[in-house]
Structure 1
Amino acid sequence: MDRYTVSSGTEWESTVGYSRAVRAGSQIHVAGTTATDEDGNVVAPDDPYRQTERALELVADALEEAGAGLEDVVRTRIYVTDIDDWEAIGRAHGEVFGDIRPATSMVEVQRLIGPDHRVEIEAVAIADDGR
């Protein structure tokens, strides 16, 4: 089985030993994704809806580089620092995945990698094995 990795180019990938996404055959696993801009700054620190939108934009970019798209997503996991934000986060997720409807979990966690991060999203996709 072929293995293909997607890198975002951050220093943390080599330090921590992870990839933005890994494609193994037809499966693509996208690592936990937070709302950051091109310079690594947190996007919309006080807006869980916008953070969800941005994280999903980055998930879509990683999937595209791995030869898949949002329509191939079968599973998402959403980690939030305040479960009371579930409606805003769910609305943003639903706008992207409304017709795709992947299996999804939303879990409140004590904190994420940075104090301004309110949402982190993982995704799993299954796409045609011929890239």
Structure 2
Amino acid sequence: MHRRMLVNTGSSFEQHFGYSRAVRVGPHVFVAGTTAASPDGAVGGTDVQEQTREVFRRVELALEKAGAGLGDVVRTRVFVTDINDWQAIGRIHAAVFESVLPASTIVEVSGLVMSDLMVEIEVDAIVADEA
């Protein structure tokens, strides 16, 4: 039986909604939808690239806390409020995962939890055996 590891960041969203930033069960790590939200508004303001960079910084920290890394990512899901931003977001995604090339999906949504958020990203990772 695999132990369940919960990763929390202290975000008010985690406490209010009742979820973990990441969950690891065995070699599998699931990172919840992550945004650039802060108490003062979106980190990066209205710059979708800056928001995306902040999201990946937070995702990387969550993965590390779960004993994984960006190189272990096998799937990403990107939610955007304007699909026309796909190229700007895609350039950053490509730079982050240039040698990993995870399976990925990008979809437009009508809104995110705060009106100034433009992008939310989920990732799934599998930590390879070190044998």
Q: TM-score, normalised by structure 1?
A: 0.92
Match of 1:44, SS state, is coil
Unaligned runs of 5+ residues in structure 2 are: none
Unaligned runs of 5+ residues in structure 1 are: none
Is contact 1:45–1:118 with CA below 8 Å preserved after alignment? no
**1:12-61 Cα shifts (integer Å, max 9, x gaps):** 32321100000011000000000135x56411121111111110110000
**After TM superposition, which residue ranges in structure 1, 4 or more long, deviate above 4 angstroms?**
none
Instruction: Give distance in 2, aligned partners of 1:80 and 1:17.
Output: 23
Instruction: Give distance in 1, aligned partners of 2:28 and 2:41.
Output: 30
1:36 aligned partner, one-letter code = A
Q: TM-score, normalised by structure 2?
A: 0.92
Match of 1:18, SS state, is coil
Instruction: Give distance in 2, aligned partners of 1:58 and 1:40.
Output: 17
The equivalent residue for 2:36 is: 35
Task: Say whether residues 1:15 and 2:11 are aligned partners.
Answer: no
2:18 aligned partner, one-letter code = G
Between the two proteins, the alignment pairs up a number of residues equal to: 129
In the TM superposition, residue 129 of structure 1 has moved relative to its aligned partner by: 6.3
**Stretch deviating more after TM superposition (5-14 or 56-65):** 5-14
Task: Say whether residues 1:104 and 2:104 are aligned partners.
Answer: yes
Percentage of pairs with the same residue? 50
**Stretch deviating more after TM superposition (109-118 or 42-51):** 42-51
Is contact 2:37–2:114 with CA below 8 Å preserved after alignment? no
Is contact 1:80–1:120 with CA below 8 Å preserved after alignment? yes
**1:37-92 Cα shifts (integer Å, max 9, x gaps):** 5x564111211111111101100000000000000000000000000011100001
2:108 aligned partner, one-letter code = E
